[in-house]
Structure formats: structure tokens, C-alpha cells
């Protein structure tokens, strides 16, 4: 059962507005694939094109190598779970799950057997007779998944289905969704603005901005080797320091940053001398100068403004003495106990843990959201992704 999805030069325009720029992409059969980006970037539009709710202005969608041009929603090998779940509130759990099968003319005994199998799969065995209104938020999520799987789609489309759940339940349902996807082997295409969800569940992620796909990669590659400034700031937190390239060789670029002098990092692309570029250093890659190994020659002096307690970590917000830009530093409890607001400290980083990317005026995450770009973007706390050591 081929569940591959191919977008072949897909474009979507609404009058004079281009919601999706020319986009070509292959999603592998059996893959958990996510589209990640801020509100308005086009990710839900792409999902609606795949499902058939929208017809692209140009290009084609192929599922299992068959063109979907002219194929209506109810004849595509897809099922969708909407953000609001769209369960039938006056029906029982059984009736919700069996609805799609009943429409297809499946007999009652087969429908009930299938519903029982799916309830076991989503860990709701014995709950078929309950009214939907009696279920918790997490249980409703599982019923929506079971209902979608009942029609045996080759591709399951999920439009931010966890957004209404609280943090703990959302984290639990991430694991549940991934486990269900592995058991069924169905292609999952997931839409989210929460990079924590995308990184935790996906085999690959497409990061979108302003109707364009910025980068497609596995989560670790996106985090450690972003290809654009937008990806660097949207996927996790990053401190951004802009300057001009002095030299680029042996996989490392050196920048002249006003007020800070020469700072180096891994080169994310070929950069010619004099070209505008930015150095990106993640908060966890900055350490107190006396805790940095000899390989790090790059130091930043900053005035600490806030210290935020975050369990095993403390997040420092500090202002660079030389440039007045704000940086964020993630430190362990020991260092956090010593550093207090009002103090001045020197921080260093290993250039191998920083990356230099071209800075050609393309928006970073902050700029796209209508904010003045600064040294670090600040996604919500639950979205932060700090790799384990």
C-alpha cells in the first residue's frame, strides 16, 4: 500500500495573493512528516491541497504515484483529523468511529468488529458505548484518530490536533501518536507551529516561511545544521550576531561583528569575504568563560538583566556591553546560583557549536512575526528543544 505523497511544482494563489510559492516535495510512504512554521506561512493550505479541499492553481499532487487532479475529497486515499476534532457530540464512541464505514455501506457486524480493534489500538478498549461528551480531551483525541483510521487511509492528515490540550497531555499525546503511526505504518502528515511537537515526533520536517519551504531534514539536522537564518531562529532558540565575512575556509567562517570584533563558527554555506552574514549561537552553547575549554577563543562580556528559574536550568537574559544587544544563556543550577541580575560576566563558546549563515535580508522568525530582529528569538518555554548531552 503506497502512501507516498508527491507535490509537483504546486502553486496556490488567491486573487493577487500567492499563498504557496512553487513547491516540489516527496513524502515517503510510511513516514511521519511534519510541516512546521508560524501562523500564515501556508502549511494548512498545503494540507488542504493534499486532502482535496483546495485545488492548486498550478502543479499536481500525486498519492501512491496516482495524480489527484480532479479527484474529490471523498475519493482520495486520505483521512483528516481537524484542529477541533469534529466529533459528533450526540453520538456514542462506537457511532463516531463507525460513521465512515456506514457511509461506505459496510455491514453492522464488520463495523463493530473494526471499531473494537481500533479502540484497542488507541487504548480505549471497552469505551465504545460511552457518549463522546463523557470523554476527556485526550480520549477525544484518540477517538478522532480511531475514526480516521477506520476507513483505512493510506495517508492520515493532522491539522494541529493537539493545540487545545494542556502541556502535560500534549506531551503524552505526542508519544501516543508516534506509537500509533509505527503500529499502523500509515503515512502521517502533521501540521504544527510548535517546533517541540515537530522535533519529538517526526521522521522529517519541512520548515515553512511566507509560502516557501526553507529546509527539509530530520529533526537533529534542522537543529544542529540549519540552512537559513529563519530555520536557525524558529527551530529552538538562538542568539543572532550580524556582521561581515572576513574569511571562510576549512568549514569555518570568521566574521567582523561591529563592537565585538572577530567571531567564528561553522560555515553553513560558501561565504565570500565582505558578504553580510550572521553568527548563531544557541543559549546552551554559551558558558561562563572559566567553564569553557581551551578550544573556545570567542568571548562575550555581558550585563545580566534577568535570571529565570526553569527547573534543572536557569535562563539568563543579558545585554552585551559592546553592542547593547540582548543574548540568552542557558546554564545549570550551579552557575545559576552564582550569577544574579546586575552582575557583569564573560561568556564563551566553542566555534564548533556555532554556525554562520548568509544574511541577505531574508526575514528571521522575529522579523516575519512583525517584531524588530534582536539577538535571540523566544519561542514559548514548552517549545524549547535542548538536546541531551
pLDDT tens per residue across span 305-350:
999 988 888 899 999 999 999 999 998 876 656 788 999 999 999 9
Locate 375 and state its grid cell. 539577538
Average pLDDT over residues 158-165: 82
Average pLDDT over residues 231-253: 93
pTM, to two decimals = 0.84
User: Exposed, middle or buried by CB within 10 Å (0-12, 13-18, 19+), for 49?
Assistant: buried
Whether pLDDT at 255 is above 60: yes
Out of 37-51, 139-153, 289-303, 304-318, which region has the weakest mean confidence (pLDDT)?
A: 289-303
pLDDT at 333: 74
When pLDDT is cut at 50, 70 and 90, the band that residue 298 belongs to is low
Domains plus CATH for the chain? Answer: 5-220 (3.40.50.300), 226-377 (2.40.50.100)
Q: Could you tell me which residues are beta bridge partners of residue 308?
A: 315
Average pLDDT over residues 37-66: 95
Locate 292 and state its grid cell. 569553557
C-alpha pair distances (Å), 241 with each of 7, 260, 275: 36, 9, 14
When pLDDT is cut at 50, 70 and 90, the band that residue 363 belongs to is low
SS3 of 68-115: the string is CCCCCHHHCCEEEECCCCCCCCCCEHHHHHHHHHHHCCCCHHHHHHHH
Which of 246, 309, 293, 286 shows the shortest CA–CA distance to 375?
286
When pLDDT is cut at 50, 70 and 90, the band that residue 19 belongs to is very high
When pLDDT is cut at 50, 70 and 90, the band that residue 10 belongs to is very high
Whether pLDDT at 27 is above 90: yes
Average pLDDT over residues 87-103: 90
When pLDDT is cut at 50, 70 and 90, the band that residue 361 belongs to is low
Whether pLDDT at 289 is above 80: no
CA 102/CA 95 separation, integer angstroms: 9
3-class secondary-structure state, position 200? helix
* Cβ atoms of residues 41 and 48 within 8 Å: no
Locate 383 and state its grid cell. 517549545
With a pLDDT cut of 90, the percent of the chain lying above it is 61
Out of 155-164, 166-175, 212-221, 254-263, which region has the weakest mean confidence (pLDDT)?
A: 166-175
Top-confidence range, 48-57, 100-109, 262-271:
48-57
Whether pLDDT at 382 is above 60: no
Whether pLDDT at 226 is above 90: yes
Whether pLDDT at 130 is above 80: yes
pLDDT at 59: 96
Amino acid at each position: 500500500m503506497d502512501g507516498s505523497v508527491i507535490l509537483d511544482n504546486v502553486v496556490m494563489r488567491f486573487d493577487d495573493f500567492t499563498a504557496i510559492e512553487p513547491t516540489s516535495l516527496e513524502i515517503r510512504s510510511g513516514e511521519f512528516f511534519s510541516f512546521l512554521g508560524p501562523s500564515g506561512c501556508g502549511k494548512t493550505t498545503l494540507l488542504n491541497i493534499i486532502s482535496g479541499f483546495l485545488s492548486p492553481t498550478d502543479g499536481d499532487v500525486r498519492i501512491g504515484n496516482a495524480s489527484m487532479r480532479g479527484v474529490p475529497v471523498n475519493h482520495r486515499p486520505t483521512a483528516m483529523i481537524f484542529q477541533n476534532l469534529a466529533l459528533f457530540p450526540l453520538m456514542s464512541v462506537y457511532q463516531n468511529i463507525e460513521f465512515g464505514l456506514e457511509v461506505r455501506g459496510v455491514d453492522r457486524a464488520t463495523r463493530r468488529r473494526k471499531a473494537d480493534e481500533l479502540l484497542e489500538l488507541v487504548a480505549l478498549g471497552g469505551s465504545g458505548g460511552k457518549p463522546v461528551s463523557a470523554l476527556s480531551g485526550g480520549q477525544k483525541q484518540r477517538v478522532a484518530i480511531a475514526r480516521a483510521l477506520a476507513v483505512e487511509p493510506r495517508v492520515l492528515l493532522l491539522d494541529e490536533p493537539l493545540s487545545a490540550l494542556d502541556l502535560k497531555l500534549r506531551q503524552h499525546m505526542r508519544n501516543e501518536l508516534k506509537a500509533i503511526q509505527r503500529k499502523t505504518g500509515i503515512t502521517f502528515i502533521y501540521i504544527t507551529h510548535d517546533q517541540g511537537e515537530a522535533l519529538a515526533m517526526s521522521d522529517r520536517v519541512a520548515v515553512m516561511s511566507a509560502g516557501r519551504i526553507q529546509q527539509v531534514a530530520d529533526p537533529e539536522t534542522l537543529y544542529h545544521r540549519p540552512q537559513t537564518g529563519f530555520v536557525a531562529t524558529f527551530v529552538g532558540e538562538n542568539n543572532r550576531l550580524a556582521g561581515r565575512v572576513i574569511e571562510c575556509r576549512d568549514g569555518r567562517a570568521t566574521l567582523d561583528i561591529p563592537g565585538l570584533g572577530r567571531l567564528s563558527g561553522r560555515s553553513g554555506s560558501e561565504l565570500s569575504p565582505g558578504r553580510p552574514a550572521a553568527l548563531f549561537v544557541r543559549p546552551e552553547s554559551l558558558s561562563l568563560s572559566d567553564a569553557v575549554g581551551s578550544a573556545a577563543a570567542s568571548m562575550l562580556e555581558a550585563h545580566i538583566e534577568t535570571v529565570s528559574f526553569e527547573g534543572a536550568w536557569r535562563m539568563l537574559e543579558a545585554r552585551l556591553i559592546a553592542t547593547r544587544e540582548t543574548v540568552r544563556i542557558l546554564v545549570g543550577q550551579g552557575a545559576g546560583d552564582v550569577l544574579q541580575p546586575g552582575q557583569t560576566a564573560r561568556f564563551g563558546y566553542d566555534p564548533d557549536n556555532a554556525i554562520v549563515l548568509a544574511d541577505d535580508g531574508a526575514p528571521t522568525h522575529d522579523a516575519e512575526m512583525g517584531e524588530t530582529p534582536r539577538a535571540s528569538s523566544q519561542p514559548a518555554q514548552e517549545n524549547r528543544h535542548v538536546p541531551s548531552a
